Structure 1
């Protein structure tokens, strides 16, 4: 299959809408959210029958990258990357009719990816006990972005992926600090009752994959934006009667940041392309993950043919390669992004510590998303384990 990471017309169109919107508006925080709603951008990945554009991961990632290039701080990553993309094709009709139109009108979604001491857990201790037509959810999740504003929270449990109403009885929130200052919470579920149809009998591997891919898109945009900001600073800032950019040490440091930016862009583009191509955002997926297995082969009650078995084997091999790309991306974000931000901070000098300076918005968001991924050591261990299992 030909590899082509170039943006297509739909991705370019989404990016152009974001750029135009940011040019016309000065808000870069939650005050921009209603404008994003009015623009129709939140409906990009929604199915057409719910008023959406029926696009997918690549268009969402294009949007997130452009927003991050200006260090915009809104719940777009949480709602689209952690919420909508994993749900498309997996929701029963009645639940889809409730959630997707609400997202188009600005409802916030989020996902509880982590448990205490277990980022991106594949064996959640959160339990889901079915009792007739309802399910009781109990457990604790950490580092849940925008949990207090979310209409629905995606909660990995020992029995599947639960879609929990944010205002359900039995949920308690404890705010946790973030570098960027956006809302993040530890969330406790104390026998929270949800309808049985809101416990999806699917694995949550796709939730993790979409999370890593879209976090990578945000990281790509943050580094692209801060590189532009820093290059302009060293070009115009005078020291000893000369622009900073004319000093050899400064030129070398900004060149190092450029190399990291291009490398991270390739990692993000490769992982997003692989996931969109071989997994996509629809229900026809063939993968085994930590919480279950999807069938991409023969129908029930029918013997799998040799051709079908070969196609299934090929799909699984492609899936493993896609996971390789995602693990490389996650490590690059957790390791290289904070280090590049530190160099940009150094090149800005003392003004870089001023919270009113634009650099602060980039640096703080980079620190938070690196932490969301579990940090450099966690991601290196994951990547090493994958390499050693080959």
Structure 2
């Protein structure tokens, strides 16, 4: 736990110095990808945190990434933090790139559970299918493709790979459509529960990032209501404003505690327990972070909707992450089904 907070403090200190409001807003307004920032993060060793030492990483646990991802959310960091942190840690053959060039996770199940992202099948030695939204696919030099229970490593320029960049409503993420036409993967990994583990840890780390978004929106709102004056005094002195701010603090603090507890428990969890932890944390984060950001906009008034205000960017980012790997509606249904199934077995 101490190391987890040391890593998070180091990330916070750097972002406070080098990722100020002007730089953050400029990058958020230009597509969600900046090779310079990705290279900085790689040079600082952020992407190698959870990579085993025998593969050149720092050997931290995936649980240690929870507090780090909260800082990514709190500072509204753009880029492939999830892919560059998670894939080298869990997938043999994917290394933490020294310049921050990402591997893209081609996962048909990454959406909201509706199945609209597409399908991918591994037939014999060839991959066929398409996924309609893949994070940072156009910037990646390799793909990690999930096909059933197989994890397939594919060169981004391999024959049969087609990538089409898409417009993105997420200010911190670039998206593309990926089509695979009888592609021969460089490597196929099966067994050991890699596919569900990737999905579960993606949900946990996104929940932590949403927690950071809630905290960042709260901090900026507290600062605003302490400075903004009406009727000769700060609006933060009005009881109605205080009630909303108190609700924001309660949601943010509760989400923070839940996320850190979930990633800590995940370290020794069975596959079924890991799924349940991930569904629970992501479901609550999807709802709580958006609610905090909505209250932040309300307390900022009309300026809260403008791009000059940070809270508008927090809100847009929270909405984008809300449905990625399931929103609160879908994931609560999964939690309920799992608990009912467990009750029937006992």
**Bin for the TM-score computed over the shorter chain:** 0.7 to 0.9
Question: For 1:155-200, what per-residue CA distance to the aligned partner results, in whole angstroms no more than 9, with x for missing partners?
Answer: 21135111222222222233143232531123221111213x3344
Q: Which runs of 5+ in 2 are unaligned?
A: 28-33
**1:137 CA displacement:** 0.6
Unaligned segments of structure 1, at least 5 residues: 1-6, 279-317
TM-score by length of 1: 0.77
Question: Within the alignment, does 1:53 sit opposite 2:58 as a pair?
Answer: yes
Distance 1:319 1:172 in 2: 34
- The aligned residue for residue 30 of structure 2 is none
For residues 120 and 223 of structure 2, the distance between their equivalents in structure 1, rounded to whole angstroms, comes to: 48
Q: Does 1:266 align with 2:257?
A: yes
**1:126·1:139 contact (CA, 8 Å) conserved in 2?**
yes
Compared CA separation, residues 15 and 172, structure 1 to 2 (3 A): same
Cross-structure match for 2:31: none
Partner of 1:137: 127
Alpha-carbon distance, 1:23 to partner? 2.8
Q: Which has the larger radius of gyration?
A: 1
Could you tell me whether the CA contact under 8 Å between 2:252 and 2:288 is conserved in 1? no
CA distance in 2, matches of 1:354, 1:382: 36
SS for the counterpart of 2:144 is strand
1:315-358 deviations in Å (ceiling 9; x for gaps): xxx54334322221121122222122111111111111111221
- 1:86–1:207 CA contact under 8 A, matched in 2: yes
Paired residue for 1:377, among 329, 336, 345? 329
Q: Equivalent residue of 1:139, what SS?
A: strand
* Structure 2 counterpart of 1:103: 97
Q: Give distance in 2, aligned partners of 1:266 and 1:324.
A: 17
What does residue 113 of structure 1 align with?
107
Rounded to whole Å, the distance in 1 between the matches of 2:292 and 2:122 is 42
Give the alignment's Cα RMSD to 1 decimal: 2.3
Which residue in the other structure is 1:189 paired with? 180
* 1:365 to 2:331 alignment: no
- CA–CA distance in 1 between the matches of 2:10 and 2:202? 23
- Which aligned pairs between 1:142-291 and structure 2 lie closer than 5 A? 142-158=132-148, 160-174=150-164, 175-180=166-171, 182-195=173-186, 197-203=187-193, 204-278=195-269
Does the aligned pair in 1 maintain the 2:74–2:215 contact within 8 Å?
yes
8 Å Cα contact 1:116-1:142 kept in structure 2? no
Change (3 A) 1:202 1:321: closer
